[in-house]
Structure 1
Amino acid sequence: MTAPPAIPLSRWADAQLEAMAMRTGSDAIAALRGGTLLGERAVANGFAVPGRRSAGGGCRLYDTLDTPVALTLARADDRALLPALFGDATADDSGDAVIAERMARAHACDLVARGRMLGLAIAALDEAPSNPALTIMAKGGAAPVTDRAPLVIDLTALWAGPLAGHLLGLTGAQVIKVESRNRPDRMREGDPALFARLNQGKANIALDLREPTDRDSLIALIRRADIVLEAARPRALRQLGIDADQLVRETSGLVWVTITGHGMVGDAAEWIGFGDDCSVAGGLSAALRDATSAIGFGGDACADPLTGIVAARAALDKRAQGVGARLILSMSGVVAQALAEERAQDEATLIATLTHWKAAQGHLFPAIALRPTGPVASLGADNALWFPQHAPC
């Protein structure tokens, strides 16, 4: 290769960051580049440009009787679902070769439908997203006039949501990260460097939302907030006694952003999705195949950082309108929108980027200067500050 490849869709990410910088006047946002946010995890961990196995290793593209399928097996109990996926009781401890053999016997649509019903993160190469990138589910009242910095409650974990909270923090917002005392953000231990980049400078409170006192305290805090970031499936919130739509309607100016794999309309509301399989569902791997005849991933779980950027921009845009709303983001929809807009703007450049990306398979991700990290609060470090009526955890 004569030059390192651009990460696919990084130019589109640049455009979102530029719009956010113009909206807020934030020098910190203006200094960011899309390729940095899409590539920093890969560069920090020494990942290679992926082929059929994702850069992080948790997802793989398998051939079926028709179109390839992406299956993520990142959680401890995912493999226990393989016998039901394949209708084979011997498939619970299968290696990749055995999984590939079973995949090759089935049609993609059957595997994806069954896998999603089981709770697996799975997607077909040629599917179309079930929901658009952004949907407004509930509308709220006008925001009160205030000159204080926006208060953001970040209920998310892993990558997309924490990145959105981080970007909002760079625009001057006060961000509080909320974690479960019993199940903290898995990124703390899984990738401490990325966790530090995404959560630096945030306050931290730790709660057990199964406890009525903790749940009531969180709801009271949300009623003081300007923006909420959340990524739970609908039934998870309902089971905790938190009605996001009602809180938006009752809290003047509250902008509530829900990040999902595939949206919240129809069956897709209950589908599991992670960055790599959602990128496939959004059409990025299909675009790579169409441009190069190669099967592979178009980045490092790029649906995650792309959605984080879009979530922050959407929250700021809605807040600038001065009214509350509940915004539903679909990670697969975000990728599909990015691809559509890139094609409309300059399809030749998109194809050239994908072609260059394919040629780089097996090489290290293009080098970037890693962003420095600031202070990261320990779990529950700010409980006493925000909930002085409770003893610190």
Structure 2
Amino acid sequence: MSPGDSRHQTSWLAAAFGAPAAALLGDCVQGPPAGGLRDWADSGAMALTGLPDGAPLAAPGAPAGVLRIALDAVAALSRARTGKAVRLPGTDLLGERAAIAGLSRRGPWSAGGAFRILSAVDGWVGVSLSREDDRDLVAALVENPVETDVWEVLERWSADRRAVDVAERAQLLGIPAATVPVTPRGLPDEQAAHRRGTAGSGPRPVLIHGGGPRKHRRRRPLVVDLTSLWAGPLCARLVGLTGADVVKVESPHRLDGARFGPPAFYDLLHAGHASVSLDLTSPAGVATLRRLLESADVVLEASRPRALRHLGIDAEEAVASGTVWTSITAYGRTGPWANRVGFGDDVAAGAGLVVRTEHGPLPCGDALADPLTGVHAAVSTAAALAGEQGCLIDVSMRDVAAFAARGPAEPHVVRQAPDGDWWVETEHEVFPVRAPRAPRPGQRATEFGADTARVLTRWCRP
């Protein structure tokens, strides 16, 4: 991937934010000199892709290269805003969660084990059973009691049904599922058509809707983080590293699900962020949240649009008053699939970000759409903070994954050395497939709710 390719990868950003973003990026964003395939092998994600007893596999497109360029853009935009260089993680963030949790490749299941690509009568469909409720709903999905392994039941049930019917029925019940397209180019469904019509010509992983003049222009922007799990918190982590004050808000009735996973991964995403507890089942808690959001430079949220509207919180109104509002959803805020659910593995599969083999399509990396989305959300947020207008940043996880999956992988051969290590050989070079790597233990995340009084006293004055 050449520097010219790099500028093409960020052209959507300049198109979305106009001349200021283009001028800020300039020539400072350079593509990875060794190419996207080397980035993939180095990131740890390639080691997570493939069958357990087979070779590690290359993803389509250049997801790790796209990620590197996006991280470079975050750093460039931050430097333009603050005048200071910022140190951000590299492509190895694709493998951080797997390294911390001790995951390995296990296709056709995901590295985490909660997702699988199933055969349908006319193609393939990816299904996630990440939550206990998802497993409980399988009986309703197949319209029969589940007396054996749920995956065996699903495998038999999907085999004589159309992939689109499997995905639609699962989504009707709130189970994350997606058909696997033949190619990520020109996704053939109504939601993709809606997003293309909204974006106009050219591929854009993120849609931007302008708002009013920014009401806050703080040296250290206040970022209110309403997100959970991986994509949103990764965005918060990166924006925090660029010099923002991040406040994570949770309800005691609905904690971030990542708190129940490996503590080191939660710490990695949330270290240095304030933690606020608000009871969002009470009018007083909702009123306090509204006041906090009014004080924010940036709001990060990853809810389906109707969830916040149910609380009387309107993103469009906040944007009109000058707030930068970054919204992460599985398929986009608007369109016929706006309320569909999705997690990193099933959304990536729905974007065509899978490896196609004689055994069927296999998932790539670990919940790959999550880190890709988190970084692209951070790029967009950094660009907005460098500008003068509020805006609504509409980040579709599937669009981001499809953007990263464009084109075939670079021609190559994967070989295993006598010592068991795997190597990639291209026409020009040979390089190793690196295992996922966990960062050194650092600061712990704040205990839940520990900063509530301090934050509300500062930012929520009547």
TM over 0.5: yes
Deviation at 1:135, TM superposition (A): 2.0
- What are the equivalent positions in structure 2 for 1:286-325 lying under 5 Å apart? 288-289=355-356, 294-325=360-391
* 1:219 corresponding residue in structure 2: 290
In structure 1, the residue matched to 2:133 is 77
Question: Could you tell me how far 1:318 is from its partner in structure 2?
Answer: 1.8
Runs of 4+ off more than 3 Å? 26-30, 91-94, 144-147
In the alignment, the residues of structure 2 paired with residue 62 and residue 165 of structure 1 have an alpha-carbon distance, to the nearest angstrom, of 34
Q: Partner amino acid for 1:316?
A: A
Deviation at 1:107, TM superposition (A): 1.1
The TM-score with structure 1 as length reference comes to 0.87
Q: 1:33 — aligned with what?
A: 90
**CA displacement, residues 33-80 of structure 1 (integer Å, 9 cap, x when unaligned):** 12x111001111221123110000110111111212111011111123
What is the CA–CA distance in structure 2 between the aligned matches of 1:348 and 1:162, rounded to whole Å?
29
Q: Distance in 2 between matches of 1:338 and 1:356?
A: 25
Q: Secondary structure at the match of 1:296?
A: strand
- Give % identity: 37
Q: Is the 8 A contact 1:196 1:376 kept in 2?
A: yes
Counterpart amino acid of residue 310 in structure 2: Q
Alignment CA distance shift 1:157-1:339 (3 Å) = same
Amino acid at match of 2:339: E
The amino acid across from 2:127 in the alignment is: L
Pick the aligned partner of 2:299 from 210, 228, 239: 228
1:389 to partner: Cα distance: 10
User: How far apart, CA to CA, are the structure 2 residues paired with 1:237 and 1:124?
Assistant: 28
Amino acid at match of 2:224: I
The alpha-carbon deviation at position 123 of structure 1 amounts to: 0.9
Task: Indicate the residue corresponding to 1:50 in structure 2.
Answer: 106
- 1:366 is matched with 435
1:10 aligns with one of 54, 61, 64: 64
Once the 2 structures are TM-superposed, how far is the Cα of residue 166 of structure 1 from its aligned partner? 0.5
Aligned to 2:144: 89
| Structure-2 change in CA distance of 1:208 and 1:147 (3 Å) | closer
Paired amino acid for 1:248? V
Give the number of the structure with larger relative contact order, counting CA–CA contacts within 8 Å between residues 6 or more apart.
1
Q: Are 1:104 and 2:159 counterparts?
A: yes
* Aligned equivalent of 1:149, options 220, 240, 243: 220
- Tell me which residue corresponds to 2:327: 258
1:120 corresponds to which residue?
175
Task: Give how far 1:369 is off.
Answer: 5.0
Give the partner amino acid of 1:19: A
Local SS of the residue matching 2:405: helix
1:135 corresponding residue in structure 2: 207
Q: In 1, Cα distance between the equivalents of 2:85 and 2:107?
A: 36
Structure 2 unaligned spans of 5+:
1-39, 46-58, 196-203, 423-432
Q: Which residue of the partner structure matches residue 425 of structure 2?
A: none
Q: How far is the alpha carbon of 1:178 from its aligned partner?
A: 0.5
Instruction: Indicate conservation of the 8 Å contact 2:100/2:262, yes or no.
Output: no
Provide the rounded CA distance (Å) in 1 between the counterparts of 2:117 and 2:415.
20
CA RMSD in angstroms, aligned pairs only: 2.6
1:239-283 residue CA offsets vs partner (Å, 9 max, x unmatched) = 111111112112x2x110110011122221110000000110111
Contact 2:78–2:386 under 8 Å retained in 1: no
Q: 1:20, 1:29 within 8 Å by CA — same for their partners in 2? A: no
In structure 2, C-alpha distance between the alignment counterparts of 1:162 and 1:124, rounded to whole Å:
27
Provide the TM-score with structure 2 as the length reference. Answer: 0.74
- What's the secondary structure of 1:198's corresponding residue? helix
Give the length in aligned residue pairs.
368
> Relative to structure 1, is the Cα distance of residues 92 and 328 closer, same or farther in structure 2, using a 3 angstrom cutoff?
farther
Q: Distance in 1 between matches of 2:215 and 2:457?
A: 26
Q: Which amino acid aligns with 2:363?
A: F
State the match for 2:343 in structure 1: 274
Moved more, 120-129 or 224-233: 120-129
Q: Report the 3-state secondary structure (helix = DSSP H, G, I; strand = E; otherwise coil) of the residue aligned with 2:137.
A: helix
1:386 deviation in Å? Answer: 1.9
